Structure 1
């Protein structure tokens, strides 16, 4: 059998590397759904932390392979992208918690929504990153647009207080309720259910609140990708590193959600740290130009990014500590 096609490059990377990555992701998701969570169950904080540690370890191990096979520069770019995307994804947890609360999604089925949401993310991020990589390759000046956008977004996050989103007033929620048959109650783990139309008595299909929650989770990811995709392109323009760091960071979000949702109040001061990270990442391109560098040093970029995020986490945990607890 002629396997030479596996060495053909697609978006600058041999097909065998892309296919190996997708095979690994499919294996991870199959193990998660087919073995660990074959039956619907509530995930406690302890299990959430253990699963998160496993996913982080897998993401870092893949980064170690990238470092070994593609070199230290690629390895540092992947790790920086992984850390940034992982941290930006934390901001998504708050919105997901609001969605689950609004649709009264039972904890028993929250993992199911997040699992199918991840499949959508894998496809949507592939499309967005593929389009972004094509545009950046054709119009290099777009990187400066991305960088400026990140700086403006970071400044806005620092100084503009955003109101808590009202899911009930969301345009998409109102559209689904006005255009489709929607059940008021949940029907177990089902996204669709066939039942009698109360107006005509005829049997017809209804969408359940669980499906509406899934749609809103997918839309939330697209909105957050508007920040995260430019951020990763400002770190590296290699589509393989951009996509793999994105997906490995998001894979663990599903597991981490259940732990973070229980203690989201402890990360109250993480958002300013995220804002500073976006400003730093956006400014790197301009700083490199001013200093006459081809690109900002990858090792320095990772160190500064990690230090900002770590400071935000530590400060949050200290400021939200229960004063009744001993120091």
Structure 2
């Protein structure tokens, strides 16, 4: 749908206001974020996302509203999977609990900026080059395969990756945290703190995640405004979800497989759309493939919600069963009666001599 410049400006201003509100209310003093506080903020951000979706439905129509809702749910779900990596980074660098919220907030702002650039480039690419749909579809199908058959990304991910090691090599870093400060001056030298390194690690993870999430939402809608809004609202609630879920994320054991199904589905949808837009000379002589079915936004929404529901319920049932089995007492050792026959005293031939 055509979006005037003033609406873009108003949306970005509203998001910046939310971030500023968060900084003033939550970050005016560092503290450990409680579950109740996280739940209130998540409810607030979901309400904001729903209000925005209502506006899209009123002014843009049913199909645009379905595209936004589907994109929002997809991006939020991908964000939940990303929490594994965030938890790994926080644990690896031993970030104090009272500063974790600020780290995530800075990381979210960085992600918004990076994804904004990705979205701008991607929107121009999909409008000018039909082969981009093939590229995005291939990325999603490959990512789905990795999720389904190489489900150990959280173990392989190195928080002290190449960028972090480069920063440590080029700049002096203190051993201890100094509150939430990123740098300090010590003995006339400017030193980085571990907090700066954590921010670099979070930013690097955000950049990697964008490679999966941006093609995924462009597979749902090519409207840059809806793509940006869905990403923004999903990211705004991510840091609160980090504190609310905590160890619960580890119980969603089938989430990665659900994401594999979702990304694979969107990848196939993109390939079908690429066939409709085809201009590659070696496919159907460069003509559009009209027989390929198009998957509607409502169908996409139904598939994604169904997969997430099944995945979540199955994960929680398995977690409950595992907890119950772990709580059961160990089975007693076998009480079968021992043989009462006397032990043999027979000796070998050499002993009898």
Instruction: Map 1:1-327 to 2 at 5 A.
Output: 12-162=2-152, 164-165=155-156, 167=158, 169-196=160-187, 203-287=188-272, 292=291, 295-321=294-320, 322-323=323-324
For residues 164 and 141 of structure 2, the distance between their equivalents in structure 1, rounded to whole angstroms, comes to: 31
Give TM-score, length-normalised by structure 2.
0.83
For residues 71 and 229 of structure 1, the distance between their equivalents in structure 2, rounded to whole angstroms, comes to: 23
* 293 and 72 in structure 1: CA distance in 2 versus 1, 3 angstrom threshold: farther
Over 3 Å off, 4+ runs: 165-169, 285-295
Structure 2 residue runs without a partner (length 5+): 277-288, 328-353
For residues 12 and 122 of structure 1, the distance between their equivalents in structure 2, rounded to whole angstroms, comes to: 22
* 169 and 248 in structure 1: CA distance in 2 versus 1, 3 angstrom threshold: closer
- Report if the CA contact (8 A) 2:160-2:201 is conserved: no
- CA distances 1:94-129 after superposition (whole Å, capped 9, x unpaired): 111111111110010001111111211121111111
Task: Let me know the Cα RMSD of the aligned residues.
Answer: 2.0
* 168 and 274 in structure 1: CA distance in 2 versus 1, 3 angstrom threshold: closer
For residues 265 and 156 of structure 1, the distance between their equivalents in structure 2, rounded to whole angstroms, comes to: 19
Give TM-score, length-normalised by structure 1.
0.90
- Identify the residue that residue 8 of structure 1 maps to in structure 2: none
- Identify the residue that residue 345 of structure 2 maps to in structure 1: none
Question: Which has the higher mean CA deviation after the structures are superposed, 72-81 or 317-326?
Answer: 317-326
- CA distances 1:217-236 after superposition (whole Å, capped 9, x unpaired): 11101101100000011111
Structure 1 residue runs without a partner (length 5+): 1-10, 197-202
- CA distances 1:32-86 after superposition (whole Å, capped 9, x unpaired): 1112332111102222122112111211211111111111111110000000000
Equivalent pairs, count: 310
- Report if the CA contact (8 A) 1:285-1:296 is conserved: no
- Report if the CA contact (8 A) 1:285-1:295 is conserved: no
* 287 and 140 in structure 1: CA distance in 2 versus 1, 3 angstrom threshold: closer
* 272 and 100 in structure 1: CA distance in 2 versus 1, 3 angstrom threshold: same
